[in-house]
Amino acid sequence: MCGIAGFFSKNNVNKPDKDKLKIMTDLLAHRGPDAEGQWCDGLVGLGHRRLSIIDLNEQSNQPMLSHDGRFVITYNGEVYNYKELRVELEEHGAVFNTESDTEVIIESYRYWGRNAFNKLNGMWAFCLYDVEKKELVLCRDRFGIKPLFYIDREDVFAFSSEAKAILGLLPDEKIPNETCIYRYLAGTLNEDVDEKSFYKNIKIFPAAHYMTIDAQNGESSIKPYWEVDEKKFRHKWIKGKNPIKTFKKLFENSVELRLRADVEVGACLSGGIDSSAIVGCASKKYGRKMHTFSSIYEDPDCNEERYITDVNKKWNTKAHFIKPDEYENDFVEYVKKITYHHDQPFTGASLFSQYMVMNSISGNVKVVLDGQGADELFAGYIPYYSHYIYDLLDKGTLCARLKAIRLLTVVNKYWHDIIGAISTDSIVRLVGIKNSFRFQNNQRIAELRIKRTSKMFTDSFMGRVHEDYSRKDIKLSSKLNTRLCNDVINKSIPALLHNEDGNSMAFSIESRVPFLDYRIVEFAMALDGKYKIRDSWTKWIVRKACREYLPNSVYKRKNKMGFPAPFSRWLRQGKSKEEIKKIIYEFSERGIVPKDTVLSIYNSHMKGEGDYSTILFRMFNLQLWLVMNDMKENYSNA
């Protein structure tokens, strides 16, 4: 896990040199504190900051040249199956000077060309330069676990792990992207994932793609190397196999591969099924006590200590607890730090909890396993019930209809007051019964009330928003799998992975996500919904396959928290409430949202007339980001 950067000039004016590259890599020092390097040939410049995880020898520092000097690479990530690929390549005569996975990527590309990308199992973003052909190849892993940003101007092409390094080279590009600001405040940022970043001209390199660039004339092309193919996945992972046994084998192998490291490995533990299963499986396969790291709040709505304790006790771990409440005095300063590392405002205060967990990991281990992705693959969130109910109704049989009614009854019994629950009006009409089911979502209701009664954005700001969103949703054979697939590929998972990377790399920690092994993703996309939701149980197959790894309390757990933070309470009673208020009031002068709307929302929250904490956090964090970037746009005067 590292930081990468590079550029080349298209007009021979801003030619790459090591001093310019060092400006970029210095801004990525937190991603790689163990070593740094810059490489130039007068045409192309590549830079690197290293976090040493595999083959700690300095021979594996980057940028790395191939044994014959033809290829040079700067690479961020881990290829977990590098040992198996190395054996295969050696059989074909490949030569290796190191024990690193970096060199395996180089030799894989030499032998297989672009077909090599589908052989890699892991997370990566890299730029490989063919010195002989004067061709650059940029590539990002299938699901965007590792970040990659780029800018393609008439005079220069540049890329980096974080936008700030590109801005270090091109400070004039610190221009806000009004479309992303609009999406962020409107609550659709995680629903509209595309190449747009919060900086107008800096793009997000798409996952599962590679780009080739002729460094002599600047011509480029970008293509996918992996795409969703439900039929192919079903034949590969489902047909003729026992799904529970198949998943268990894939999961255990994924965890085992992600324990490969020449440094100690730990795990984040929230007390949910996903992280608990990982801790259990890793503890069994690791051969030593696992370090676990957990966030604990006193608020009952945010406290998962009971489940965390049960997991730690079952596996005799080295448990570490962080209490973010103890850092509330400095909440605003921590949000500034998080915003800096993310290069953008973030969507909720829960990232503060995750950030403090990563802070506690620093100095204990350099690698952690995390449960990201399981909810979106195996239907772990309550709203997914609605899609499965529609699938049952689409079958048209009496049996399926009865299952749908029974499922609605069970869902209402257990989750009638859970935030983010199902909107049942249309479902109830289809089932043909009266609407006796109550699904309350106070925060969402409050935000919808804002949109109905208030003008959310000023005309001058909206005049600068250009929503040309053109990404097409992927369609699978069922409504449930269609929703899950799009959440993984196009919507929530890309944003969540950005958060995971930003928070972990802020402390030079490598975060690995076993559930996003591409084999598990392909398996899940082909798996019938009945293995994901059954009766009142979400993630049914994960529970069944991982039963031996879970304490009974977690196995039977129905509620879900994740990394919660009591920001709603902090707004009203917290130690930083006056400072937060001041920043929100400063935002009201921006001319993005009408001032009377901002003040009305804030006052309504403070009076207890609704929970407006989500939108208020976004206004607060957006103002911090704009100030940090010295963006002085005032749309009231635009």
Per-residue tokens: 135: 């061709």
Q: Which CATH fold topology does 2-224 show?
A: Glutamine Phosphoribosylpyrophosphate, subunit 1, domain 1 (3.60.20)
The span from the CA of 119 to the CA of 536, in Å, is 38
Burial class (CB in 10 A: 0-12, 13-18, 19+), 44: buried
Mean pLDDT (10-residue bins), the chain, 638 residues: 92 88 97 97 96 94 96 98 98 95 98 97 98 97 98 96 97 94 87 86 97 93 97 96 98 98 96 96 93 85 85 97 86 95 92 92 96 96 89 88 82 52 41 36 49 74 78 90 96 93 97 98 97 91 97 86 74 92 96 94 93 94 94 52
Rounded Cα gap, residues 617 and 349, in angstroms: 7
Ramachandran bin of 375, using left for φ above 0, alpha for ψ from -120 to 50, beta for the remaining angles: alpha
- Rounded distance, CA 590 to CA 582, Å? 13
DSSP for residue 82:
H
CA–CA gap between residue 428 and residue 463 (Å, rounded)? 40
Helices (H), ranges, 159-272: 163-169, 178-186, 230-237, 243-257
Per-residue confidence (pLDDT) for residue 535, from 0 to 100: 81
pLDDT value at residue 562: 56
* Contact between 516 and 372 (Cβ < 8 Å): yes
pTM of the model: 0.92
Task: Count CA atoms within 13 Å of residue 291 on its CB side.
Answer: 19
- Domain parsing of the chain, residue ranges: 2-224, 230-377+482-555, 382-479, 567-637
Query: Alpha helices, DSSP H only, in 416-517?
Result: 425-431, 442-453, 459-462, 479-489, 492-505
Looking at 2, 127, 268, 281, which residue is catalytic?
2
What pLDDT is stored for residue 273 in this prediction? Answer: 95
What is the fold, at CATH topology level, of the domain defined by 230-377+482-555?
A: Rossmann fold (3.40.50)
Sheet strands side by side (includes 149-152): 35-40, 44-50, 2-9, 156-160, 149-152, 203-204
Q: What is the distance between the alpha carbons of residues 353 and 571, in angstroms, rounded to a whole number?
A: 16
Q: What is the pLDDT of residue 434?
A: 34
Ramachandran sector of residue 433 (left: φ over 0; alpha: ψ -120 to 50; beta: rest): beta
**What amino acid occupies position 491?**
K
CA 221 distance to own-chain centroid: 26
Q: How high is the pLDDT of residue 349?
A: 87
64-65 and 71-79 strand pairing: antiparallel
Q: Taking a C-beta distance cutoff of 8 angstroms, is the pair 524, 259 a contact? A: no
The rounded distance, in Å, linking the Cα atoms of 205 and 159 is 9
Q: Are 148 and 225 in contact (CB under 8 A)?
A: no
2 is catalytic: yes
Residue 88: is it exposed, middle or buried by C-beta count within 10 angstroms (0-12/13-18/19+)? middle
For residues 281 and 283, what is the distance between their CA atoms, to the nearest angstrom? 5
Q: What pLDDT is attached to residue 564?
A: 62
Q: What residues form DSSP beta bridges with 321?
A: 294
- 3-state helix, strand, coil split of the chain in percent (to 5) is 50, 15, 35
What pLDDT is attached to residue 505? Answer: 97
pLDDT of residue 408: 80
Rounded Cα gap, residues 636 and 306, in angstroms: 50
Say whether 177 sits in a helix, a strand or coil.
coil
Domains 2-224 and 230-377+482-555 share a fold: no
